Structure 1
């Protein structure tokens, strides 16, 4: 559909510009002077024209496509002026021969008449025969001028014969020529090329061209992740983006020989409604793309987090109750991307129908004439199709049954059937949603042992899922504006169901051993699958999605055929689906009260099994790199600590458990004397042996003995754990106040993240600190040079030679991508979560050195950190500290509690360089009497 550029002379007046340049050229200033004047005049014309196009877009006087057309018109006129000056005044030919003709032809998107602010200009210099010296001079002059103007020009110089020959060999070239457009010059050459291209290239090759373009599209999707629901999508190359629309248009133009998308309606390829969806999707994507290029001042195609809010504002999206404007904008983006997928299926269906009618001419995906009927559907090859065009009109339930039969027989769905579903979606109404047979079919699909993820994704892509389960329809294309969630809510849910199915099939046994073991002990599979389906279904409604989701479960589960008991369990799981991860990642599992409180919430072994598997599937489906071995270890520890309390067993007394742990360690130290073993045991309290596995205690014992013999002031040992994707750093030195803060500062200076630290103080005043680290990508901090730097930095920090605060302040500020997120600082003080300690939870935007600043502030407040659990969810840091006063007691004084909250809020609210200064903490001398540091401190991040 051609776009008419309004008030074109306000963008550029070619006539006036050319007249001024020709008047200058007539004064014979010389080629160098003329060239300089050309560059100055055309550069100014480009700048003014771009500014006018941008003004129109940002003032809503022009749409994105109108802006692209205006920019295209601007470049056209510049090229025409340049051509005329070059051929009339720089390299004039008085009597040109038949071979000294030249056409300027636009190709690709530029040929289509759409030029984004940052797009390349694709030019074809079209010749009648071979290139002459005159051609070479003119083309070289024009290209150098265009480059001087700052245009990114892709060019080719070819004859008509060259173009035809190369187009037959390469579909990329034939695609470019498919959208060629004459700009200037001898139009006869362009007319000849267009006529011959249609007769000699396009005729009879539609099937092969379409097959090549669809294959190219599939490879592009695989390269970019094969999902249109990633929360930072590529709007040009990504699935459901502009390139997919272009692919459909190329195929339609090539196969159906049309020049306007509206002609596809008259040819029966698209209905009027489908054509409107095509145009709306194209307009929306062009609006976003033009704004994005102007905003970033570069040909940026990714909708990254840092640009999404401003794009939303420019496009008129505002915050509504429960939903941010940026989330509404991105939801519309994903819905349009979904529409592009629907249009793709319609095109494929049309191609196959055309192949049925003209099998000798169009062989793409051609149907076998030998078909049979399978459970009321036509089986064509390995795909199910309808037996009659009106099948879904007379039996709407078949829109669900089609997917169930295909899943059970491991078949694909024919595009023609999907096309008909699109046109009959409104028949999935309240009556069908109340039909027990329809709900039973859906439940069978959800709980099938044959790849429920693929079947549900097909249901979702076809629009059936959201119509049958309206609550799920509300989260289709629903994104969360944060750096933690990688997919939209519907895509995350479907992936979680797929992971659950893989756990059941034993495919993730090495990565998820506990879930793989206990999933087969679950009494009701239906409860488990329904809880995964519903756990995030209430996101985007405002309020607590867990609470609202539980209410949805109470309504939805009976409709799906679950019993009252099953419904109650699903509702409980949805209500508390974050409880296990919150406890494991944010609380001290070695504290008996933590486990007791969690057990009282869960109440039964069956719920514990269900909740464990649900939690694992949920976290694993958030996105690449979110799940790691450390999170698995924390969840396993919580499960194994809780399970005995729920199964009727009795947890052994702490003394007995510690004694058994000592015996296991003693068995590993067979080369030690009994006196050495007893001496080592006397140095540690019971909690050390209860919270540390025997192999680690053995390593610590040997490290401590060696360090004591050598009288080393500081000992540092590293161990890489590939399974947990962690690096363990063990530090052994004399304890002194502020040690924890200084070591975390040194680690921050080296660029590592603390994901766990168990910090113990021996009874004779030595600190045994075991930090578990990751790098910025979530892998082990394992490069030798970085480990060497870490050892040196820790030593220098403890000796006072390096001040972490100064180093961190000198670092560059966080990227705009991170700084764009607003996380409200929050400090929660809880005196009920532990019997002996005060629990402080802080929430705020993460930044380099935040943990160091927080621990330094706690030290300055005369608090002793007993344990700390540090987690990062994208841009959000959630850190929990178990603290006491210097005498080991809870903090109960109201004034002191308010001071803690105020100080930590200041740290969260300001970057390290701006945070109010805390009192400096100088290193204590080695001979200083140890402070009343707790016997054990552990940190997990």
Structure 2
């Protein structure tokens, strides 16, 4: 029969029984470790977070008080106070404990050694302390100089010594002595603004900071501190009887505190250190700890957890803004309201509804409010009382399909107004849009667990709409022709509807484009849109990826590609709307995703398709027509620059015909001029800035030989340049003509001379140039895309197309080029598309005799070798230090 284990003695008893400091330290470490293990079990079992932070605090109290009793003699004229978060008894597993030893200078000096021993014991026991030893006067001086110190001292409780010490300290730090309410409010508000700015003024970050980020725990603490300082109350709930905080608002903040606190508590348990950023390292594990399960690939457990966080953060930010406004109004005193419309006025610069109780009637008065707001551009925002009434009335809003026709007409009127995007954004921020369009509510706060979509779906949608608004105002020069296309739209508000619905079905499972098109058709029917308008919006939603996919994954210099795209688009109207939606969608996915190369790519596809539609789909453009036009325009440019026609024709005699199909006339002219200015037989390397800061175009003419493309790509990679597009042609005189569109990730490209020198050095012995593989960035390690390689033969039967989908990583293209070289295959074209952590690269290949690759055994070996390269299992995949 096994022995019954003896239960561990209580922590306090174990500490008291310790014979010396060494034994005490071991008992404290063991007790704290046991408590953390117990807290984790309780956390995973779903125990209330209020209880968990309390238990965490109790364990620290036990150790701190025991250490104080061991080190300080009874009756010492010193008080031990907990301050800050520890002072309000809100402690997380890895939080610092803020301690203040309060005593006059003489007492401090007399017990200096004992105080030092006390703090050493705590550190040795594993408690990270933030400590101060001050007299009352020193506390006042420190609080006067630093508002952070004052704020920490506002929340304190006695651990040892005089129980009345906190009250004495509070009196010494009273607003009548230092930091009066107005000054405290202004300083803390500016502190919050600066803190939000560090996080780009949004909670919608892929790795949000639970404590300091917008909508995080610090925002809740900030309004609490303001309430304490301005009104002398102990906490937020005490603001309710004062009329400064609604009961619903208070309940919402308490609910969101529990949500945020639980995430922070779990994060500390997982990290084993003080960690406030909810990074990719911990997101999936924390979601599992919270008991969340994957529903399907479009609604992962981690996405459910992050959606709950983003919704909590949005609620905290919304109520935080209202409270700050109320505090500001109280401090500003009375001010005469300024009428702006019947039933509306400005109070302290904010739009107020004179009878906000009307909002309880539902959507009609709310839409009236937004219309009035639209007509009051001078308003700083919505008045806090009106905003509170609106928030408390959201439940009265019925979905659009249950609304009477006049309310639907109100919504359409808002959508058709010049300020429609601002109105939709306000409606989304205040929760109205999610009620009127429940499908939008389902994607509010919804993130996608990848590095491509840096915004939640609702934030992405609003960003897309903002870009559309910018097209109308010509507010962004990054879009070359969008401002020219927009005025041609028959009904611009239909573009906004397409933007509103294009991702509205994310997270449901299935094709979100098809599901969203169904939603769009239902909306159009409910709002009595003309059939042609409804069909157009639904088509745009269903096909919103068509133009992006065509431009980035296919060769749009091929007339057949353009013809197929034109047949799908069918007419000029659909093309105009789709072009603008595509630009806004790509730019609204990530601030880093849109660049001048993509702008040029889409503009080229738009122009080519428009020409094909104007010519008539029954009269397709043939390649020989395009080549003849390119030749004529390039020749005109070259003659104008002083070259004689004989010289140009001599160079062009060896030029491949397809070059006049793939390149613009000005590119042909640039390449031709460079060849003409070089000595016969010389390697020609041309470099010029291209399209945007950090963008380069490189043209290389060199004797063709195996491994040339691999050497060039490896060299460009070593220079820190990312390849966006590569064109590889062969001249009839035995030269390779390679053109690269490049971009420097940080926007600062190497000097042209350095690029030329590096390429020429590499071309002296291409076989010696090896790719360098470097460690992937931390974020990429959490997103693995299984490598997939596929082959097919292009329409003319002369080329094999290889597609590669895999995880992005430094040096990937150089490694793949090396594998192709080892298999004695030639690259004739490469298109590089990166979508967050995923790359989709396309190559046109031939064997050594410039024929399509038909040997299936060879293709199988090639596929295996590329997968091994991507996974870092080849010799050239070994990590090396970057030169």
Fold match (TM-score > 0.5)? yes
Give 1:205 deviation, angstroms.
Answer: 4.3
Give 1:906 deviation, angstroms.
Answer: 6.2
- Rate the CA distance shift 1:558–1:348 in 2: closer, same or farther, 3 A: farther
CA distance in 2, matches of 1:591, 1:664: 24
Q: What's 1:229 paired with?
A: 204
Q: Is the 8 A contact 2:815 2:876 kept in 1?
A: no
Give 1:181 deviation, angstroms.
Answer: 1.7
Q: Is the 8 A contact 1:728 1:770 kept in 2?
A: yes
Q: What's 1:601 paired with?
A: 568
- Rate the CA distance shift 1:662–1:792 in 2: closer, same or farther, 3 A: closer
Q: What's 1:497 paired with?
A: 465
Give 1:867 deviation, angstroms.
Answer: 1.7
- Rate the CA distance shift 1:427–1:188 in 2: closer, same or farther, 3 A: closer
Give 1:265 deviation, angstroms.
Answer: 5.0
Give 1:266 deviation, angstroms.
Answer: 5.4
1:767 aligns with 2:729: no
The C-alpha deviation readout for 1:375-409, integer Å capped at 9, x for no partner, is 32233243222222421124641112212211222
CA distance in 2, matches of 1:597, 1:916: 42
1:107 aligns with 2:83: yes
**Alignment of structure 1 residues 576-725 onto 2, 5 Å:** 576-648=543-615, 651=621, 653-670=625-642, 672-709=643-680, 712=682, 714-721=683-690, 723=692, 725=694
1:848 aligns with 2:810: yes
- Rate the CA distance shift 1:139–1:766 in 2: closer, same or farther, 3 A: same
Give secondary structure in 2 for the equivalent of 1:480: coil
CA distance in 1, matches of 2:194, 2:876: 54
Give 1:494 deviation, angstroms.
Answer: 0.7
The C-alpha deviation readout for 1:816-843, integer Å capped at 9, x for no partner, is 5312213244345455767764443332
Give secondary structure in 2 for the equivalent of 1:729: strand
**Alignment of structure 1 residues 14-93 onto 2, 5 Å:** 14-20=12-18, 23-24=19-20, 39-57=25-43, 59-60=44-45, 62-88=47-73
Of residues 134, 150, 173 in structure 2, which corresponds to 1:158?
A: 134
1:914 aligns with 2:883: no
Q: Is the 8 A contact 2:727 2:830 kept in 1?
A: no
Of residues 513, 538, 544 in structure 1, which corresponds to 2:511?
A: 544
Of residues 536, 545, 565 in structure 1, which corresponds to 2:532?
A: 565
Give 1:235 deviation, angstroms.
Answer: 1.2
Of residues 819, 826, 833 in structure 1, which corresponds to 2:788?
A: 826
Give secondary structure in 1 for the equivalent of 2:590: coil
Structure 2: unaligned runs, 5 residues or longer: 1-6, 878-883
CA distance in 2, matches of 1:675, 1:784: 30
Give 1:441 deviation, angstroms.
Answer: 3.2
The C-alpha deviation readout for 1:670-691, integer Å capped at 9, x for no partner, is 1x45443221111202322343
Give 1:789 deviation, angstroms.
Answer: 8.6
CA distance in 2, matches of 1:337, 1:210: 22
Q: What's 2:832 paired with?
A: 870
TM-score (norm 1): 0.84
Give 1:134 deviation, angstroms.
Answer: 1.4
Give 1:634 deviation, angstroms.
Answer: 0.9
Give 1:225 deviation, angstroms.
Answer: 0.9
CA distance in 2, matches of 1:278, 1:212: 23
Give 1:518 deviation, angstroms.
Answer: 1.5
Q: Report the RMSD for the aligned CA atoms in angstroms.
A: 3.3
Q: What's 1:27 paired with?
A: none
The C-alpha deviation readout for 1:485-539, integer Å capped at 9, x for no partner, is 111011111111111111111111x321211221112222122111111111111
Of residues 833, 838, 859 in structure 2, which corresponds to 1:900?
A: 859
Give 1:328 deviation, angstroms.
Answer: 1.0
CA distance in 2, matches of 1:273, 1:491: 25
Q: What's 1:402 paired with?
A: 369
Q: Is the 8 A contact 1:103 1:186 kept in 2?
A: yes
Give secondary structure in 2 for the equivalent of 1:513: coil
Give 1:68 deviation, angstroms.
Answer: 3.2
Q: What's 1:420 paired with?
A: 389
Give secondary structure in 1 for the equivalent of 2:615: coil
Give 1:210 deviation, angstroms.
Answer: 3.9
- Rate the CA distance shift 1:850–1:793 in 2: closer, same or farther, 3 A: farther
- Rate the CA distance shift 1:561–1:401 in 2: closer, same or farther, 3 A: farther
Give secondary structure in 1 for the equivalent of 2:428: helix
CA distance in 1, matches of 2:697, 2:175: 70
- Rate the CA distance shift 1:467–1:390 in 2: closer, same or farther, 3 A: same
CA distance in 2, matches of 1:820, 1:786: 35
Give secondary structure in 1 for the equivalent of 2:739: strand
- Rate the CA distance shift 1:579–1:332 in 2: closer, same or farther, 3 A: same
CA distance in 2, matches of 1:551, 1:571: 7
- Rate the CA distance shift 1:907–1:724 in 2: closer, same or farther, 3 A: same
Q: What's 2:410 paired with?
A: 441
Q: Is the 8 A contact 1:87 1:138 kept in 2?
A: yes
Q: Is the 8 A contact 1:665 1:695 kept in 2?
A: yes
Of residues 336, 359, 362 in structure 2, which corresponds to 1:369?
A: 336
- Rate the CA distance shift 1:431–1:311 in 2: closer, same or farther, 3 A: closer
The C-alpha deviation readout for 1:538-578, integer Å capped at 9, x for no partner, is 11111111111111111112434532111111111111111
CA distance in 1, matches of 2:868, 2:443: 32
The C-alpha deviation readout for 1:638-677, integer Å capped at 9, x for no partner, is 112111111237747145224313422431451x454432
Q: Is the 8 A contact 2:362 2:397 kept in 1?
A: no
Deviates more, 1:339-348 or 1:109-118: 339-348
- Rate the CA distance shift 1:432–1:277 in 2: closer, same or farther, 3 A: same
Give 1:261 deviation, angstroms.
Answer: 4.8
Deviates more, 1:255-264 or 1:781-790: 781-790
Q: What's 1:185 paired with?
A: 161
The C-alpha deviation readout for 1:731-771, integer Å capped at 9, x for no partner, is 33211133223332343455432112222222101112222
Give 1:50 deviation, angstroms.
Answer: 3.5
The C-alpha deviation readout for 1:75-97, integer Å capped at 9, x for no partner, is 32332232222223xxx9xxx7x
Give 1:594 deviation, angstroms.
Answer: 0.8
Deviates more, 1:682-691 or 1:433-442: 433-442
CA distance in 1, matches of 2:803, 2:836: 17
Q: Is the 8 A contact 2:525 2:534 kept in 1?
A: yes
Q: What's 2:881 paired with?
A: none
- Rate the CA distance shift 1:793–1:127 in 2: closer, same or farther, 3 A: farther
CA distance in 2, matches of 1:373, 1:637: 48
Q: What's 1:302 paired with?
A: 277
**Alignment of structure 1 residues 245-256 onto 2, 5 Å:** 245-256=220-231
Q: What's 1:13 paired with?
A: 11
Give 1:224 deviation, angstroms.
Answer: 1.2
Give 1:290 deviation, angstroms.
Answer: 2.0
Give secondary structure in 1 for the equivalent of 2:102: strand
The C-alpha deviation readout for 1:205-229, integer Å capped at 9, x for no partner, is 4455344433332332222111122
Q: Is the 8 A contact 2:787 2:870 kept in 1?
A: no
**Alignment of structure 1 residues 326-365 onto 2, 5 Å:** 326-345=302-321, 347-348=323-324, 351=327, 362-364=330-332
Q: Is the 8 A contact 2:806 2:839 kept in 1?
A: yes
CA distance in 2, matches of 1:577, 1:832: 26
CA distance in 2, matches of 1:673, 1:397: 73
**Alignment of structure 1 residues 718-737 onto 2, 5 Å:** 718-721=687-690, 723=692, 725-737=694-706
